[in-house]
Chain A
Amino acid sequence: GESVGLHLPTLSVQEGDNSIINCAYSNSASDYFIWYKQESGKGPQFIIDIRSNMDKRQGQRVTVLLNKTVKHLSLQIAATQPGDSAVYFCAETGGSNYKLTFGKGTLLTVNP
Chain B
Amino acid sequence: SAVISQKPSRDICQRGTSLTIQCQVDSQVTMMFWYRQQPGQSLTLIATANQGSEATYESGFVIDKFPISRPNLTFSTLTVSNMSPEDSSIYLCSVEQATSVYEQFFGPGTRLTVL
Task: Write the residues of chain A forming the contact surface with B, with a CB cutoff of 8 angstroms.
Answer: 32, 34, 36, 41-46, 49, 89, 93, 98-105
Contacts and interface: CB of A to CB of B under 8 A. Distances in A.
Interface residues of B, number: 22
A98 B43 contact: no
B42 A103 contact: yes
Interface of chain A: mostly helix, strand, loop or mixed:
loop
Q: Which 8 A-B pairs have the closest CB atoms?
A: A43-B106, A102-B42, A102-B43, A44-B106, A43-B108, A43-B109, A104-B42, A32-B102
Contacts of A42: 108-109
Interface string B31-62: 10100000001111100100000000010000
Given A98-B31, A99-B48, A45 B42 contact: no
B102 A43 contact: no
A34 B43 contact: no
Interface of B: 4, 31, 33, 41-45, 48, 58, 92, 94, 96, 101-109
A18 B43 CA distance: 26
Contacts of B43: 44, 89, 100, 102
A49 B101 CA distance: 13
